[in-house]
Chain A
């Protein structure tokens, strides 16, 4: 597959390897994040008038799902403010090596070296999502909790353990990053093989060893590459490149998803269905059940949410894979086939979340400018936009875009599944599963 090495252009390389641009952007996002926590904890209790709710769950979420992940995989992770203070403490400095590191630097437990925890945290937040997404105080506490967890983990464990193993956003971002059009790869593996110091992993005076715990010289998957560019700084031979590549080119039969990743992919499909039903559906009783935490209807909602995401959707998928295995008399174990077809369904998963995001982003975009001028909902008008009612996109376009994105995701997935399949019969039940999921999403969104 063809690659375009962006780092072969000097000014792009300088932009990526210089610490200042990234530092400035991260400082801005950190300031925004702290403002978000303050607005959540001390601002208006009305969600639509509070920066914390509007900026995180509408503006940032939409940017993440519509821009960062589809265009740059884990690009958000490279400027995410949540792990920053912990990372600074861990490194003992803000702008490069030389400081006195803090923390215990323990290795992350081997048994937790997977995405199960990320699935669990994502599901946990899902169960409480109706209050997290709508109540500024709860939202503020949830974000503060993530912030404290990230700092604590940085002081106990080495590298960005929080991002890699706990962050609920990092899990699915990494999953869909495998489809992204960017990558960091070694230019010439022979040069890496002859480089005994392996500074891309261990670090040097120019930069830190890979904060994500990867060995960049042998990187072949993007799921755990945070695009921090440290390896570009530490490689003395200029042998690492930031490439543009064709979408989905990383997915191959040689690298099926592991069981935990397959489950995360299915959790994401199931969660999208539930979220769409709760937030975009017209069932008031379901919204009330999701919102009134601690009541019997909420308990029923939480159990149904877990049943759909952990039992029904994975059950149907594994059933489809099993049926395909029987139909084709394949010899591969079910787990391996599930991982193979799980990676084939990643485009549909990403399209599902893009469609869900489009469904509310177009309608709620008008909330953004007013909270910029009045982040706490205290009646300020800092930039003269507090009373603005700006609608950038006509609402008629939204359902058409949702259907188009879902159909496109299905097309991409069906071609990928067929590319990965040993024979057509084996893939048929998986394609039926994909069609059923897309049809379900379409029915919930525009039906």
Chain B
């Protein structure tokens, strides 16, 4: 009973460390980053852009067919481009992680699912998730040993 409680505490502690330990600070110097993103029905190209934390990002959104918008989750910045036109969006990537950017103008049936991804630095949430998954499996194995 005592060892069960101890092991439960140990697994909880490991899980807490994986979930909440602060991520290492990025040593890469912030830079100016430029991307040209082409938007056509239900797709952004490139679909994923990667920057480092602190980078100043400029995105030129080019609408290829209809009016399209681009809004980045959690950054709350957005821009709209008319067909054949380019619209510019600038922001500083201060928040690390992976964020969806979405089309903001109804452009067809699959519009609600027209998304791309902005990755700022390493995706710690994903790696923490994997770590927690591994702890989950190991705790299951340990529990069976009892």
A: which residues have CB within 8 A of B? 46-48, 130-131, 134-135, 278-285, 287-288, 291, 363-364, 395-396, 399-400, 403, 406-408, 410-411, 413-415, 417-419, 421, 424, 427, 431, 434-435, 438-439, 442-443, 446-447
Count of chain A to chain B residue pairs whose CB atoms are closer than 8 Å in the complex: 122
List, in ascending order, chain B residues with CB within 8 A of A400's CB: 125
List, in ascending order, chain A residues with CB within 8 A of B73's CB: 363, 395
A134 and B140: CB pair below 8 A? no
- Which single member of A280, A285, A287, A403 contacts B129 (CB below 8 Å)? A403
Name the interface residues of B33-75: CB closer than 8 Å to any CB of A: 40-45, 47-48, 73-74
B126 and A406: CB pair below 8 A? no
B126 and A443: CB pair below 8 A? yes
Known interface pairs A278-B113, A287-B113, A414-B139. Does A447 touch B126 (Cβ–Cβ under 8 Å)?
A: yes
Q: Quick check: which of B24-32, B77-85, B104-112 contacts chain A, the rest being far away? A: B104-112
Known interface pairs A285-B43, A288-B41. Does A407 touch B140 (Cβ–Cβ under 8 Å)?
A: no
Known interface pairs A283-B47, A287-B42, A435-B134. Does A411 touch B140 (Cβ–Cβ under 8 Å)?
A: yes
A435 and B144: CB pair below 8 A? no
B136 and A407: CB pair below 8 A? yes
Most chain B CB atoms below 10 A, which of A407, A434, A443: A407
Give the distance to chain A from B103, nearest Cβ to Cβ, in Å: 10
B140 and A279: CB pair below 8 A? no
- Which single member of A47, A131, A284 contacts B42 (CB below 8 Å)? A284
- Write the chain A residue with the least CB distance to B15: A407
- Which single member of B42, B100, B129 contacts A288 (CB below 8 Å)? B42
- Write the chain A residue with the least CB distance to B129: A403
Give the distance to chain B from A114, nearest Cβ to Cβ, in Å: 30
Q: How many residues of B contact A (CB 8 A)?
A: 42
List, in ascending order, chain B residues with CB within 8 A of A287's CB: 42-43, 110, 113-114
B109 and A47: CB pair below 8 A? yes
Give the distance to chain B from A292, nearest Cβ to Cβ, in Å: 10
List, in ascending order, chain B residues with CB within 8 A of A48's CB: 106, 111-112
Told that A282-B117, A399-B97 touch, could you supply 13 new A-B pairs with CB distance under 8 A? Answer: A130-B110, A280-B113, A282-B100, A283-B47, A284-B45, A287-B113, A396-B74, A414-B141, A415-B143, A417-B140, A435-B137, A439-B130, A439-B133
Does residue B90 face the partner (Cβ distance < 8 Å to A)?
no
B110 and A431: CB pair below 8 A? no
List, in ascending order, chain B residues with CB within 8 A of A406's CB: 129, 133
A407 and B129: CB pair below 8 A? yes
- Which single member of B110, B129, B143 contacts A446 (CB below 8 Å)? B129
Give the distance to chain B from A142, nearest Cβ to Cβ, in Å: 14
List, in ascending order, chain A residues with CB within 8 A of B97's CB: 399
